[in-house]
Structure 1
């Protein structure tokens, strides 16, 4: 990533979390520069988890068979768009 593709942030952590994180990164063989990569990965996973929890909450009252049918339909649509000629074989 070039500097034009990045944003500099100031992150504040408790002393305990900072020490634990640095110990963890060190044990993984990571260096100080890897902290940014670790934080970016953690943020992406957290956003993904929040999205998944939102979908689960929205569908909590949905009948299991109805939900499975909606999933199957969405998968079939994506397959037919990505692989128009091979979707019949699936």
Structure 2
């Protein structure tokens, strides 16, 4: 992976000002990448569903939540 010298110095300066150590750079980058991937996934889902009515989308979400809760209750009861 390569980044510009400006970005590298800015990030290291930011981390240093936050009291972070050298090893924290990798953790920071991993966290930033995860957030960026989540953001892109959310944007893709929003675009995919933009033509769907709010009522239909809410009904689908409600059904998914009911299914997950039922599965968790089932798992809890088995333990």
Q: TM-score range by the shorter chain?
A: 0.7 to 0.9
Moved segments of 4+, more than 4 Å: none
Aligned residues: 76
Matching of residue 55 in structure 1 with residue 45 in structure 2: yes
TM-score (normalizing by structure 2): 0.87
The structure carrying a bigger helix percent of its residues is 2
Instruction: Identify the match of residue 33 of structure 1 among 3, 18, 23.
Output: 23
Distance in 2 separating the partners of 1:30 and 1:15: 19
1:67 is aligned to: 57
- Which structure 1 residue ranges, 5 or more long, are not aligned? 1-10
- The CA RMSD measured in Å over matched residues stands at 1.6
User: Residues 64, 40 of structure 1: CA spacing in aligned structure 2 closer, same or farther, 3 A cutoff?
Assistant: same
Distance in 2 separating the partners of 1:80 and 1:46: 31
2:14 is aligned to: 24
- Which structure 2 residue ranges, 5 or more long, are not aligned? none
